[in-house]
């Protein structure tokens, strides 16, 4: 069923957006689409409003950071769900870390409000048009976006882990 879902969604997206759909493949049993950044809002709007697909629920979204992927280091993943038919798909879009801007989807899904704030907090992704883009989990005084891979995960102020057993 998932394969037919992949083909079905892919066909519709290709017909509407053409080259903007960069890839469509199965990851295990999950259809995954990679979308060009400039049309991501239109694609999600189409998937939500299309009568047959009707992805009315944003399950989750998250930021991505692949430092080796020159020119496309940052990304956002969206997971959409059609509850009546129990269809799920995943969308990804990538962009350069030098310009980490992407349109908000809070106008489509109200639940994206806090999720986008989290991605801003941890990855520094700017969601253009977000009504209240500020940190949500970390302290407001924090000066960096800690889930980006250039930052160490550990707390630098700890002195008791500097022996060879802990590898500091």
**Residue 148 interacting with other proteins (CB under 8 A):** no
What three-state secondary structure class fits 51?
Answer: coil
DSSP 164: T
With CB under 8 A as the rule, give the number of residues binding other proteins.
Answer: 13
Q: Could you tell me which of 37, 75, 44 has the C-alpha nearest to residue 59?
A: 44
Residues 88 and 32 sit within 8 Å (Cβ to Cβ): no
Q: How far is the CB of 161 from other proteins (least distance, A)?
A: 6
Q: Does 154 bind other proteins (CB under 8 A)?
A: yes
* 7 vs 162 by CB, closer to other proteins: 162
Q: Which of 68, 150, 160, 163 binds other proteins (CB under 8 A)?
A: 160
**x/- binding map, residues 110-139, to other proteins, per CB under 8 A?**
---------------------------xxx
Strands (E), 28-86: 30-35, 57-65, 74-82
- Give the footprint of other proteins on this chain (CB under 8 A): 137-139, 146, 151-155, 157-158, 160-161
């Amino acid at each position: 069923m998932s394969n037919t879902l992949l083909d079905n969604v892919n066909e519709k997206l290709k017909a509407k957006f053409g080259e903007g759909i960069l890839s469509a493949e199965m990851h295990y049993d999950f259809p995954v689409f990679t979308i060009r950044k400039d049309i991501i809002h239109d694609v999600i709007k189409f998937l939500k409003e299309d009568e047959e697909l009707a992805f009315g629920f944003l399950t989750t979204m998250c930021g991505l950071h692949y430092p080796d992927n020159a020119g496309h280091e940052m990304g956002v993943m969206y997971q959409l769900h059609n509850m009546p038919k129990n269809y799920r798909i995943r969308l990804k879009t990538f962009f350069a870390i030098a310009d980490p801007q992407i349109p908000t989807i809070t106008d489509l899904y109200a639940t994206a409000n806090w999720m986008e704030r989290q991605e801003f907090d941890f990855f520094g992704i700017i969601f253009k048009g977000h009504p209240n883009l500020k940190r949500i989990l970390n302290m407001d005084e924090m000066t960096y976006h800690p889930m980006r891979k250039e930052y160490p995960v550990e707390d630098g102020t700890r002195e008791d882990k500097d022996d060879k057993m802990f590898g500091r």
